[in-house]
Amino acid sequence: MVAPSSKRSTIITLHQAGHQTKDIVKLLKISRKTVQKAVKRFKETGSTADRPGRGKKKSVRTEQNKKKLREMIRRNPRRSMRKMAKKLEIDEKSVRTIIRKDLGLNSYRIQKVHELTDKMMSNRLERCRQLRERFSSARYKAIIFSDEKIFTIEPFTNRQNDRILSPNISSANSNGRLAGRRAHPQSVMVWAAAAYDGKPPLVFVPQNAKINTETYQNLILKKALIPWTKAHLKSRPFCFQQDSAPSHKSKSTQSFCKTHFPDFISTSEWPSNSPDLNPLDYSIWSYLETKACSTPHKSLDSLKASLIKAWNEMPADYLRAVIDAFPKRLKACINAKGGHFENS
């Protein structure tokens, strides 16, 4: 490819030799506009050189800037790119490019997780290995996962992703930017269970009731789970999962599960401190919060109605995809030696 300045010189040489525009176009196989533009510039400036400022601008991706950024990140990997750009007096976009392309670094959000001791990690590793062997192939699809969670009438907000588009701060505030918090908002304990091909109705624990062994067995297992398994699963085998909450791991509840269910994961088999392995914890509860709690509720009845609606409308494909992630998470936990792992 001929450089613009070289092509321009050739055009001017032919022009000065007396060639007409149409002849130069035919000879060099270029557009008439290019020839006319080159001749006009030569008459105005008397030169064939590029105009000042033409061409690729000087890059700030210098070795010096790369070195400075690398040192800043080494000293404080949580420092914002905006502050580093201000410190170096270069564009923030350039800083992001250097960090991603030249330094090979990615930006990861800070995530709250359970603190794991060496003993906990060893426990998780061993139990994940046992569960992976026990539910190899597609046998994990027979598991009914369960959990409890407290929901409040206050709106669920994501500080990172939730935004309000508005012309000014006053308008944004009036349109819902400020999510009020109360000291003791009304709340309700919800029990839910999810299987690969269905889910029983939500159970709302009465306000003054404690989730002790008796309440758990009578209100949840006897009145909700067992009737659903008989009506929905009929004679198909299944395996019931629960975490290590006191009402779950009591000897009475463990005995109840052994008597009434074809199979269950005992308290000595499920990894403790492992919400990252339960589909309700790592996905379903967030789905419900997003669908049912994006706006504040005036009463618990309103909150319950929204939760039931979101639960009933939950797509079957979503439920299967969430549970399909379970064996992948077991594998990831094993690869991490029982420690925290990248979300599937």
Query: Which pLDDT does position 112 carry in this prediction?
Result: 73
Q: Is the pLDDT of residue 177 over 70?
A: no
21-28 helix and 4-16 helix, angle to the nearest 10 degrees: 140
Query: Which pLDDT does position 162 carry in this prediction?
Result: 46
> What's the rounded Cα separation, in Å, for the pair 113 and 16?
77
Average pLDDT, stretch 286-304? Answer: 91
Q: In the predicted model, what is the mean pLDDT of the chain?
A: 87
Share of the chain above pLDDT 90, in %: 61
Q: Is the pLDDT of residue 172 over 70?
A: no
Query: Which pLDDT does position 58 carry in this prediction?
Result: 60
The alpha carbon of residue 223 and the mean position of all alpha carbons in its chain are separated, in whole angstroms, by 36
Query: Which pLDDT does position 180 carry in this prediction?
Result: 54
Q: Which comes out higher in pLDDT, residue 161 or 268?
A: 268
Q: Is the pLDDT of residue 48 over 80?
A: no
**DSSP result, 211-253:** --HHHIIIIIIIIIIHHHIIIIITT---EE-----HHHHSHHH
- Residue 198 Rama label (left phi>0; alpha psi -120 to 50; beta): left
Per-residue confidence at 51, pLDDT binned at 50, 70, 90? low
Average pLDDT, stretch 167-172? Answer: 65
Average pLDDT, stretch 178-185? Answer: 56
Query: Which pLDDT does position 59 carry in this prediction?
Result: 77
pLDDT in tens, 241-265: 999 999 999 999 999 999 999 999 9
Per-residue confidence at 49, pLDDT binned at 50, 70, 90? confident
Per-residue confidence at 85, pLDDT binned at 50, 70, 90? very high
Q: Is the pLDDT of residue 114 over 70?
A: yes
- Residue 156 Rama label (left phi>0; alpha psi -120 to 50; beta): beta
Q: Of the given ranges (2-11, 45-54, 59-68, 174-183), which has the lowest mean pLDDT?
A: 174-183
- Residue 34 Rama label (left phi>0; alpha psi -120 to 50; beta): alpha
Share of the chain above pLDDT 70, in %: 87
Query: Which pLDDT does position 8 carry in this prediction?
Result: 84
Average pLDDT, stretch 203-215? Answer: 90
Q: Is the pLDDT of residue 166 over 70?
A: no
Average pLDDT, stretch 177-204? Answer: 83
Average pLDDT, stretch 114-120? Answer: 87
Average pLDDT, stretch 27-32? Answer: 89
Q: Is the pLDDT of residue 159 over 60?
A: no
Query: Which pLDDT does position 344 carry in this prediction?
Result: 45
Task: Let me know: does 166 contact 175? Beta carbons within 8 Å.
Answer: yes
User: Order of strands across the sheet with 143-152?
Assistant: 203-205, 187-194, 143-152, 239-240
pTM: 0.69
